[in-house]
Structure 1
């Protein structure tokens, strides 16, 4: 399977320590199987930080999900309550229950797969967390959002499965 990472640099090697915390699935290296999504991210990153949009291309064995040495969680392609709780916890700078299965602060998952929580989703999350909308309203709002996909790699063991095959500029 081909995965893409949109940014403003040609990544020679993946450095997990330089990845930002408080992302949807925790600190990690994020990719997508959708080239158009990676291209949009590359444009966004280059607009914010300068440089030119670059999409790094990676291959991963199609059977990576069967690897018994990895702990993988796959939320599928449709936002769900379980996915929403996981994302809210990972984005929450005050969340402290690191041992919870509903977060990845302690890198309990090597790889996490699921939809991206875009800005519209983030607004819904804040409304829910501030008790402005009910859980049902949150779920209803998620149902009508266009979702995308992300594959995040959180450990060196997981990153080692990615084989860089090129860049698109």
Structure 2
């Protein structure tokens, strides 16, 4: 399968030390299964940094690796309580990081709208069941792929 990474420059070799902590699935290299999503993120990153040009780097990951490799992989097919708790834990700056030992995590993105709902839950404004219900009825589900170890990155081939 093809996976896409959007940035303000082409990525020849992912470097985990350049990844920011406290992201949805932790500090790692993030990819999208969709070109448009990656391109939108590239534009956002370029605007944020005020440097470079939007660039989408394409990588290949063999499908069977998800099923047959020795990698520790966590897959969230949809918004659920486990996903919400996982994202909150990874974003928690008071918690020891890394918050998990997975090589790859696949699941929904917590974009701005989702982040707002997570904040409402954290502040006690809504219950977990209400949070999940609202997320499931929001506009669309966007998936992301997180690669958090050098071992996981070794399976990615730049195209």
Question: What are the ranges of 5 or more consecutive residues in structure 2 without an aligned counterpart?
Answer: none
Q: Contact 1:107–1:154 at 8 Å: present in 2 too?
A: no
Contact 2:89 2:99 in 1 (8 A): no
**Alpha-carbon distance in structure 1 between the residues aligned to 2:134 and 2:90:** 20
Query: 1:66 Cα deviation (Å)?
Result: 2.1
1:152 equivalent in structure 2 = 146
Among 115, 120, 133, which residue is 1:127 paired with?
120
- Deviation larger for 62-71 or 17-26: 62-71
- Report the CA distance shift for 1:113/1:126 in structure 2 as closer, same or farther (over 3 A): same
TM-score after normalising by structure 1: 0.89
Distance of aligned partners of 1:124 and 1:80 in 2 relative to their CA distance in 1, 3 Å threshold: same
Shift of 1:137: 1.5
Equivalent residue runs for 1:31-110 within 5 Å: 31-49=31-49, 50-76=51-77, 78-96=78-96, 105=98, 107-110=100-103
Output the CA distance in 2 between the equivalents of 1:122 and 1:94: 18
Report the count of equivalent residues: 157
For the residues of structure 2 that align with 1:30 and 1:90, how far apart are their CA atoms? 14
CA deviation profile, 1:92-132 (whole Å, cap 9, x unmatched):
11124x6xxxxxx1551000000101111111111111111
- Tell me the equivalent position of 1:115: 108
Query: Runs of 5+ in structure 1 lacking a partner?
Result: 99-104
Shift of 1:53: 0.5
Matches of 2:115 and 2:4, distance apart in 1? 23
SS at match of 1:4: strand
Q: Distance in 2 between matches of 1:120 and 1:106?
A: 23
CA deviation vs aligned residue, 1:12-47 (integer Å, no higher than 9, x gap): 211111100000000000001111100100111111
Task: Say yes or no: does 1:142 pair with 2:135.
Answer: yes
Contact kept, 8 Å, 1:124 with 1:138, in 2: the verdict is yes
